Amino acid sequence: VSVNDADFNLLWMGSHPKPDVLRSLAPYQKINHFP
């Protein structure tokens, strides 16, 4: 699933999320990044 696709509940990233990604999340969506 791409970041531009809104059909997800959990987004795993390999880096820190950018502010525009955080702003675009719906209230039910969660994000995690490693490390």
1-35 pLDDT, tens digit per residue, is 565 677 888 888 888 889 998 998 899 999 998 87
Phi, psi of 10 (to 5 degrees): -135, 130
Q: Give me the pLDDT at residue 1, please.
A: 55
Please state the domain extents for the chain. 1-35
Q: Give me the pLDDT at residue 6, please.
A: 75
> What is the pTM for the complete model shown?
0.63
Q: Give me the pLDDT at residue 30, please.
A: 92
Q: Give me the pLDDT at residue 33, please.
A: 86
Helix (H) or strand (E) holding 18: none
Alpha helix ranges (H) inside the chain: 19-24
Q: Give me the pLDDT at residue 20, please.
A: 92
4 burial type by CB count under 10 A (0-12 exposed, 13-18 middle, 19+ buried):
exposed
